[in-house]
Structure formats: structure tokens, C-alpha cells
Amino acid sequence: MARERILVALSGGVDSSVAALLLQQQGHEVVCAYMKNWINEDNVIGHCPWLQDIEDARAVAGKLGVEFRVVNLMHDYRRLVVDYLLEGYQRGLTPNPDVMCNRRVKFGVFAAYARAEGFAGLATGHYAQRVETSPGVYGLFEGADKNKDQTYFLALLNQEQVRFARFPIGHLAKPDLRRLAVEAGLPTAQKKDSQGICFIGEVKMADFLQAYVPERPGLIRRAHDGLPLGEHRGLHYYTIGQRKGIGVPSNTANQAYVVVGKRADDNALLVAFDGPDAPGLWTSECRVHSLTFVGEPIPASTTLECRVRYRDPRIPIHFRSPAAPGHGSAAAPEAHLTFDQPQRALASGQIVAFYRGEQLLGGGVFV
């Protein structure tokens, strides 16, 4: 393996710490950098541990004896991720900030910074495996630890981004990664994994939205007959498939209501009794847009698999799209999906990731 000069996105967690460790052990020239994306400057309710994360990342770089940088991407992150998130919710969509952070910021403006600084690649602590499938062409495959696989969050990366990316820990199971961190004496070896909105931190989505999106109350209506059942605070607080916190009690038969739609025309939140007959809750076919492919475009008509949420299993689908002009059977920017089995609670704006076996082919956005 040729020695490379690689920039490691060091988040202050154990995964990226071991990524840097492994690259150094492989003989690469490693420089570590913390992406300063968000500092909770508006005092949003919640825990935003960026100061501690920087110190933890700096301590790891010190332990490894490598250069450490803090790269300020706050303006780009606000413009490319936070605005996308807020605008999406205001339009009644269900955006995914983690996927967009990877596409636009981490492997977008941060990768551009790395290139400008003369690095041969950008490494992260994602549980994914990058494999050269043909000379100069790289595919993405699921991480060896299926409980930690993060290829779903990489579904909107293109070939140029994947070619520049490095995923040093994709072959490891989490317990083995922890063991390596302990053996190397890394300061983050016992640090708990973070849970939150990408790099915003451990902030509840409802609290985040409350701080930035004005409330717009409206009626909660029963989907099949329009009967008003109560009032909601704003459509952006609710997601398709939500059962708890709607504000409408179960009926006398103990049937729970579930959110099945958000109607912008009259600002109505639509609910129905949860079950296979709930209108709008189950989807057998749908459209996706903003298709992005890791390698070659998916053929215009084919059978493959997809993952509609991060933790969901891969499921069989039929993928169909009009051929893109001048590209033979290559797929157009929009496609029609038919599921072998109806899927519950698919919402506009959600990300879908396409697979052939364990190989990630690309992704799109539900219409």
C-alpha cells in the first residue's frame, strides 16, 4: 500500500480516533482536524458538547503525535445543512441532516479544503467499506459490523467523493474497535457514542425546531371523514407513522391514532386508527427524485434492494426510470419504485438507499 498524506475528520469520538490510529499504523502521514460546524450559539435547549469534543480530539492527536487543526465550517454548515433541515420541515417534508452533512459538508466543502491543502484523501470513522471494483473506480459496501453499518448515510455520495474518501474502520466490529482503542491508550477509548442531530449535538429535534420554526396551529382531522379531533401546534412537529404525542386519545376500544398525512392547503394534521387499513400509512409504490449513484447509474429497469431508513433491513424492490438522454439504459434523475411488500410510514423528503447485496449503489429522496 502506497504511503499517502491523509486528513482524518476527528470528531472527538472513539470511531474516528481508531481510524486515525489505523492509518498511522499503516504508515500513512496523518493529520487530524475537527470540523467546527455548530456551537449552539443561539442557546438551543439541549447538550451541544463541541468544546469537550475538540479537547478530546486534540488529546487523541497528541497521543498519536500528529498535527491537529480546527477547521471552521460554521457558515457552510448553517447554509447547507441547517437551512435545508429547517426549510424542509417548514414545507412539510422529513429531511435527513446526517445524509446531507455527509454529501454537502464532510465530503463536500471539507473534502475541498483537504484537496486544497494537498491531502490525498479524507478519512472518517464511518462503518463502511470502500473497495476498488475496477481500475480507478471505487464501490461502497456495508460495514462488517451489521449493527453499526452506516452506508445508508453515504447514499448520496458520488464517485468523485467516494474516490477521495477513506473508511479505515469498516472491517471492524465495534467491540474489536474498542479493544484497539484501549490497547493504544487512546483518551476516547471508553467514551460513549454520541446521539443527536449530526454535529449539532444531543438536541431533541422538537426543541431544535421550536427555536427556529414559528408555530402554526391547526386542526387534527380524521383522515377518512375529516372529523376534527383536536388542535396541533404546527405540522413540522409531527412525522408520518407517529403514534405518541399527537394529543388525540385512543378510542374506547383502545385503538391508537397514528399520523397518516400533513395537508398544507388547510394546515391539517391527518390521523387514523393504526392498522393495515389506515389511509396513507402503507405504500406499495412511490417516486424518488435527486438520484445519486456511487458508480455507474442503476439500469432504467431492474430488480434490486433498498433501505428506507437507517435501521431498517434491506428490502426487494423493482426500480424503473426513463432512460436518461444520451446514456442508453442509464437511469434518469427520477425513478419509480415498487415494493415487494407494502412499507409503513414513508414520508416525503426521506432518503432511500439502493443496494445490490451488500454493495451500496446510490440513493434518492422520496417525493
Residue 122 C-alpha cell reads as 479524507
Which of the two residues, 355 and 48, has the higher pLDDT score? 355
Both 37 and 174 in one domain: the answer is yes
Both 177 and 304 in one domain: the answer is no
| C-alpha–C-alpha distance, residues 11 and 54, integer Å | 7
Both 311 and 226 in one domain: the answer is no
- Whether residue 68 contacts residue 62, with contact meaning beta carbons closer than 8 Å, is answered with yes
Average pLDDT of every residue of the chain: 92
Read off the pLDDT of residues 169-227 as tens digits, 9 standing for 90 and up: 999 999 999 999 999 999 999 999 876 555 555 667 888 888 899 999 999 999 999 99
Both 246 and 187 in one domain: the answer is no
Enumerate the active-site residues.
101, 198
pLDDT band at 328 (very low <50, low <70, confident <90, very high): very low
- Whether residue 295 contacts residue 285, with contact meaning beta carbons closer than 8 Å, is answered with no
Helix (H) / strand (E) containing 335: strand 335-344
Residue 86 C-alpha cell reads as 429547517
Both 360 and 242 in one domain: the answer is no
Is the sign of the CA dihedral 74, 76, 82, 86 positive or negative?
positive
The CATH number of residue 269's host domain is 2.30.30.280
| C-alpha–C-alpha distance, residues 281 and 364, integer Å | 20
Structural domain includes residue 321: yes
Structural domain includes residue 136: no
Residues 6+ apart with CB under 8 A from 224: 272, 279
Distances (CA, A) of 148 to 68, 152, 169, 175, 238: 27, 11, 11, 11, 27
Both 112 and 241 in one domain: the answer is no
Domain count, the chain: 3
pLDDT band at 325 (very low <50, low <70, confident <90, very high): very low
Both 176 and 69 in one domain: the answer is yes
Structural domain includes residue 302: yes
Residue 198 C-alpha cell reads as 449530526
Read off the pLDDT of residues 31-41 as tens digits, 9 standing for 90 and up: 999 999 976 55
Both 61 and 182 in one domain: the answer is yes
**168 CB-contact burial (10 Å; exposed 0-12 / middle 13-18 / buried 19+):** buried
Structural domain includes residue 131: no
Structural domain includes residue 103: yes
Read off the pLDDT of residues 282-309 as tens digits, 9 standing for 90 and up: 999 999 999 999 999 999 999 999 999 9
Average pLDDT, stretch 260-277?
Answer: 95
Per-residue model confidence (pLDDT) at position 2: 87
Domain hosting 239: range is 216-273
The CATH number of residue 311's host domain is 2.40.30.10
Structural domain includes residue 143: no
Distance in angstroms between the alpha carbons of the first and the last residue of the chain: 43
Structural domain includes residue 134: no
Both 310 and 269 in one domain: the answer is no
Which of the two residues, 19 and 264, has the higher pLDDT score? 19
Q: CA nearest 75: which of 35, 103, 107?
A: 35
Both 50 and 98 in one domain: the answer is yes
Structural domain includes residue 322: yes
Both 53 and 197 in one domain: the answer is yes
Both 346 and 306 in one domain: the answer is yes
